[in-house]
Structure 1
Amino acid sequence: MTRPRITCLFAQYHPAGLLPPHVRHYLGELAASGMTVHLALSGVRTLSSDIARFCTARGIVPHLRPNRGMDFGAWQDLLAAGCAQGADRVVLANDSVFGPLHPLAPILERMMARPADVWGLVESRAPVWHLQSWFLCFGADALAHPAIRRVLAQPFAEMTKQEIILHGELGLGTAIRAAGLRAAAAWADTARGPRRLVPANPMHVDWLSIARSPDTPFIKVELLRDNPCGIGWTGAWRDLLATRDHFPAAWIDDALRGRPAGTCVAGWKSRLLFLLISRDRPAILRAMTRRRPATVPAMSPPAVAR
């Protein structure tokens, strides 16, 4: 049986034009799984020799572009450049997560075998049904569907972040269903109990259960950096990584150090609600009895992305 040709379009941005160790790790895992990886380096005008060597060693194709349109703008530019031509499946991914916390190739093999036109790693119903856009895989026919093409052809460079989320990520969810495409997710956002009435972002409210899952070993950068929902058990990430050796904690320490944190917008009522609806309840109980320091250590041991 002929192995399908899989292309990954990866959107990356760093304010200093760097390619941090945790992103190199992710890119290396994607390339090692057999994908052809096209890397959109947003805001980078000149390719550094260091990044060039990294890409060459792993068969990754770098693309320099202006920093506009965020991840959807980057994917749009890569599609316009013909990077997905000839691919049987196209993965859209970005650098908004830490991970994978364990090898990615077996996860991709399991998901690729599922009978789906499009699949993602995490499903969400907040605020409406969609597959979270930080990792999506489209079959060639699904990507070429007029409903999907219309979403990806929008002027993302002219949009704000919230508009891109609305018209891009949520728009894809609407288009997938309107087109009748078969969709699947490694992590299903099951509506049980209060969750039927209160949709919430699983990558925040259920983050620990997701990160521990064999098929979704990722943590959102936004969760650890900004924690906009005021999730009270984010400090458990260090204990989680202490139990595995595929992803050093130093990579997260280094990524968070010196980066301005956002503001928590959740009030105490919302925080209490998140406690009640989370699948992370055992971790929540432990967090209530053991407080961890919230600051990032001044120094961390050196770590090199494999």
Structure 2
Amino acid sequence: MNAVPPLRAAMPAAAPSWPAGLHDLRPQSGRRSDVSLPARVASRLLRHTRVMAGKASGLARTLQADLRELGQAEARILRQAAGAMPSNGRAICLYAHFSPAGRVTDMVLRQLEEYTLLGFDVVFVSASPRLQEEDWQAVLDRCAVAIHRRNYALDFGSWCDAARTLRHEIAGAEELLLANDSVLGPIRPLDPVFATLRSGGDGLFGLTESMQHIVHLQSYLLLARGRAAVGDLLDFLLGMRLSARKSAIIRRGELAVSGHMARRGHRVAALYGYAELEAAILADPAESRRLMGLRPFAWAIGLPPAERDARLQRALLAVPMNPTHDFWAPLIRRMGFPFIKTELVTKNPAAVPDAPDWESLVGPDAPCPAPLIAQHLALR
């Protein structure tokens, strides 16, 4: 089992090996920050073309839904109850849950227990259409607060509604964790992960850095530390304009929150930096061969090694990948990443060839072993 590395200096290591510690999110000259504007323009033109080709009716329905939800944050709360776990008020976790079948699986309950053991008052927020009573009671046994709300605006909607409901409690906290059930696991212990995140001092910290669209922390797990950072993250949630449209939530939520915190002077850092991940993949022959199995890099097969590595490195600068999808296996094998994205297993939108092999990377001593994860997937 790989250990989580200790805190390192902000600048990337020169050697092509996994560096120690947290990686500050700073756009680097010559990297995707320089090519992202044309990509964003092209993306917007494509979206506009699709709208003109027949998406207008869907946008109209979304607008109607958004208008109906204006000022309805309190009305979205269907029920709220205090849980059995004692509250310390210093560290709060807002955990967003959704299950079309209305089930809270044993894997989700294990995640709630893990965050409680890490010192968080867990606020469970479900946007499921219904919840079985036995599942609701199981949640109450493991949380400080449980909230059932009407589904609107995805996980950020759940976090925002919970923030409005508990704004005074959150304002006095020293840590605020945003988490959700979009990841399977943990398949590695979380204690060393959070020890490293907490070693970074005050700021906003996440696990993976993404270069897609703009440089940002991926939002499946975000930790704000320090009263000022908690307050600014709370302000972000309270001020976020929600929408029924997924692309709008991604743009206003995940893509915006890192910049919001950085502009307010907070450190923003990831445990698994993107540039370092690329370097680690290119330094390992087996991982480089795996990279060439991904659709955007198949052209590199058969090239001389020196030319192949140089061209792959240039290509990685221009083709931003989703690290938790495209690089999921090296994240686990080389870095000890503690989760697997649920969407990678259930939908595999990028057609990653080895995604079906996820069970092979879940050890028998994992906090959430493969049978528990498989049960979760079957009950979703």
The TM-score with structure 1 as length reference comes to 0.75
Cα distance between partner residues in 1 of 2:364 and 2:333 = 11
Deviations 1:92-116 (A, max 9, x none): 0010000111221232122111134
Task: Tell me the CA shift for residue 255 of structure 1.
Answer: 3.2
Preserved CA contact (<8 Å) 1:31 1:60: no
Deviations 1:138-179 (A, max 9, x none): 12312323x8724652231x3311110111100112223333
Task: Tell me the CA shift for residue 37 of structure 1.
Answer: 0.4
Task: Tell me the CA shift for residue 34 of structure 1.
Answer: 1.4
1:205 corresponds to which of 326, 331, 343: 326
Deviations 1:221-243 (A, max 9, x none): 00010000010011331111245
Structure 1 stretch displaced more, 224-233 or 178-187: 178-187
Find out whether 1:240 has 2:361 as its counterpart: yes
Find out whether 1:144 has 2:228 as its counterpart: no
Cα distance between partner residues in 1 of 2:364 and 2:316 = 30
Preserved CA contact (<8 Å) 1:151 1:167: no
Cα distance between partner residues in 1 of 2:123 and 2:187 = 22
Give aligned-pair identity as a percent. Answer: 31
Find out whether 1:171 has 2:256 as its counterpart: yes
Task: Tell me the CA shift for residue 46 of structure 1.
Answer: 6.0
Quote the residue 1:43 is aligned against: 128
Quote the residue 1:78 is aligned against: 162
Equivalent residue letter for 2:174: D
Cα distance between partner residues in 2 of 1:235 and 1:203 = 14
SS at the partner of 2:324?
A: helix
Please provide the CA RMSD for this pair. Answer: 2.4
The TM-score with structure 2 as length reference comes to 0.62
2:152 corresponds to which of 52, 68, 86: 68
SS at the partner of 1:84?
A: helix
Gapped regions of structure 1 (runs ≥ 5): 260-306
Preserved CA contact (<8 Å) 1:29 1:103: no
Quote the residue 1:14 is aligned against: 99
Structure with bigger RCO (C-alpha 8 Å, 6+ apart): 2
Deviations 1:4-56 (A, max 9, x none): 92110000011122101221111111111111100001135566134313432
Task: Tell me the CA shift for residue 184 of structure 1.
Answer: 1.4
Over alpha carbons, which structure has the higher Rg?
Answer: 2
SS at the partner of 2:274?
A: coil
Alignment of 1:1-306 (within 5 A): 5-43=90-128, 48-56=133-141, 58-82=142-166, 83-139=169-225, 140-145=227-232, 149-150=235-236, 152-156=238-242, 158-190=243-275, 193=313, 194-212=315-333, 216-242=337-363, 244-257=365-378
Question: In proportion to residue count, which structure has more helix?
Answer: 2
Gapped regions of structure 2 (runs ≥ 5): 1-87, 280-312
Structure 1 stretch displaced more, 7-16 or 210-219: 210-219
How many residue pairs were aligned? Answer: 254
Quote the residue 1:268 is aligned against: none
